[in-house]
Each structure stands twice: as structure tokens, then as C-alpha cells.
Amino acid sequence: MDLTYNADHESFREAARDFAARYVAPGLSERDAQAKADPAIYRKMGEEGFLGCSIPKKYGGLGLDWHTLAILSDEFEYIDSSARVVISVHNGLHSCALLQWGTEEQKQKYLAPLARGEKLATFCLTEPAAGTDVAGLQAFAERKGDRYVLNGEKIWISLSTVADQYLVMAYIDREKQKNRDHSGIVAFIVERAWKGVKPYELHGKLGVRAGVTGGVAFADVEIPESNVLGSPDEGFRVAMSALDSGRYTVAAGAIGLIRAALDSSVKYCHERTTFKREIGKHQLVQQMIANMVQNRDIGDLLVRRCGWMKNAGLRCTREVALAKWTNTVNAQTAADHAIEVHGAYGFSNEFPAERFWRNSRGAVIYEGTKEIQQIIQAEYALGYRHDGALRCELPGWKPE
């Protein structure tokens, strides 16, 4: 297992870091304070190729390996979680699902424009009364001839009002829905422009305020049979495998947040003096700095292992869940420590520590709460959980 990054990886890191500094950082404080996103940043991400970095060239992507997706998530979240969230939902949850489960026709029609950065996409699983409890979905699509008619509502959807297409999970069998049988769930590719699709934006969020979060209502939306992703009985598997890729980006992004909290704290430690010496000289402050360093390096290794497995074409459901749980919890701790290091100033938006904490709080909830991640790890260890075979596996990486 080779966990080293090569010169191409480091060159890509520099490009991602430069982009984030030039396009995400300017005006960030104002966008965060006003809870206002800037869609122009998303378009620029597409122009630079970031929205298709790990998608094969034949589908319009850059054809880079899976490590680059982690590096991109890390560097974008170093500046702000709102930038990394775009990568999570567009690249991780949606595009990877199309790459893994899509027919050739679906890939050409729906994946290629995403990889080229011409369109945006997101993932629609969560509902007002169903999150972790996926079998409790209320959205339903009734079969009518060669089409399905979808009704329902999804909430806490990133890019809800700006995404051009959604990956939507819904039941198609009332009896299976009643019995909570997730084999009755189907994954649909739905276009925002279709009649009956009604996206909206949520306001008053604690964190990720510089990004778009909202919901989508579906009222008698007609979906062609050709827009079913995978087989009609594979929707749950499509959703869970999509979460594997999404969690990979969240875990990698958490490293960026830990690094940001650490760098901000180290800088302040050298600037602030108490009792006639830098606060970094105080051992309890050093303890918090050391904890951030420890968790940064642990998190980096966990993500690199997942990237190596993905490159090799190996399924990493357990490993990526572990990385997501560990890194997001540690990112929240790092943000909390950063506030403590900054003292009263950490409680103010004069410094970024409070934004780090607000952003970190959501990541321990979305794409699998920290509680469900712990259950997953315990069930693997106890032998209660096993990875069943999938008809379609996410392809490993081959140099192009």
C-alpha cells in the first residue's frame, strides 16, 4: 500500500489552493455574514476542470486519480466548507453515482456535461421526516406506461436552487414502502427544468452560510423510464454507494478544516502575549495545538488509505465511514480548540475560528451522523455487517 502523493498530486494541490485563494477567499466574510452564495464561483470551478477532476476523459473529465478528489476537498475546505460542499454533492454523490451505475447513454447525456463543468448536480435523499432512516422515505413515483410520476419533498439539499439535475430516491411500490422494504426504492435522474420541480432555499443556518442549502418539492413530475439509474430494485444500493464517495470528500475536507484551525491558532499564539510571553509558551495551549497536529495527521492517513483503495478498484465502505466519523469529529474539536486559543476573540467574527466551528458542526450530521458511523464500525467488528456484492462497482483509476 503506497500512500505517498507524487509530483502530479502536489501540482494539482497548488492549483486547487491557488483557485481557492483567488476565487473563494475574497468576500467570504461578507458572504458568510449575509448568508449569500456566489454561483459565479461554481461556474469558475467548472471552467477550471475541478467539477470533473476524477471522471475519465471519455466522459469530459480530467481523468485524474481518486487522490486528487481528496486533495481538492481538503484545499477547498481549508478556505471554507461551502466550497468543499460543491465538490461533495456534485463530484462525490452525483457524478460518481452516474459513473458507477449509469448506462452509456446516461453517462453521455448526464455525466459528461457535469464533468465538463457545463452543469451542476446534487443529491436528493433526505426528507423532512427521513434522514438516517432511509427506509422511511415518503417520496413515491407511480408507474404510468413508460414513465414514472414523482411526488414528494426533499430537504437539506445542497445546491438546491442552482443545480441543473438531481439524483432522487423514491419508492415505486406501496406495499414495500409500507413494509419499509428498501428494495422498493428507485434512483431517478431528474432535471430541474422539468414541470413540477420546485426548488427552494433555506435560511437561518448555523454554518455553511456562504453556500446554497434548501429543498426540492416534486409535484406530479414525469420521469422517463430511461432516467432510472441502475435497476428499479437497486435504488438503495445506488444511494449507499453514492454515500461512500460523498463521505470520502467530507472526510478529506475535514482535514482542511483542521489545518485551517491549526494555522489560525498557531498564528495567534505568536501574536498574543499574556504574563509577558507568547500564549504558545503556555503548556495547556500547547496541548490543544498538539491535539490538532495529531488529528490532522491521523485524518490524512485515513483518507490516503481510502484513496489508495479507490484507485485499486477496492470497495472501502467501512474505511471511508471510519475516516468520515474520525475526521469530522476531530475537525469539530479542532475548531473548538481554536476558539479557546483565541479566547474572547474566538467568540467574535473578527477571527475565523467561530466560522470554523459553525461549519464543523454540520459535518458530523450530514452524510451519516457520527452516531450511525459508530454503529457501522461496531457492526463490522462484531460480524453483524458484511458488504454484499454490487452489480456495478465504482471503477478504479487507470492512467489516461
Question: Which residues are annotated as catalytic?
Answer: 367
Residue 227: half-sphere exposure toward Cβ, Cα within 13 Å = 23
C-beta separation of 206 from 362 below 8 A: yes
What distance in Å separates the CA atoms of residue 80 and residue 70, rounded to the nearest whole number? 15
Q: Which positions ≥6 away from 60 have C-beta within 8 Å?
A: 52, 111, 112, 113, 114, 115, 116
CA 80 to chain centre: 13
Q: Rounded to the nearest 5°, which phi and psi values hold at 157?
A: -105, 115
Residue 313 · residue 282 · CB < 8 Å:
no
**Dist CA 376 CA 158 (whole Å):** 25
**Which own/partner pairs from 10-16 qualify as long-range (CB within 8 Å, at least 24 positions apart)?**
12/53, 12/64, 12/68, 12/71, 12/72, 13/71, 13/75, 15/48, 16/50, 16/71, 16/72, 16/75, 16/76
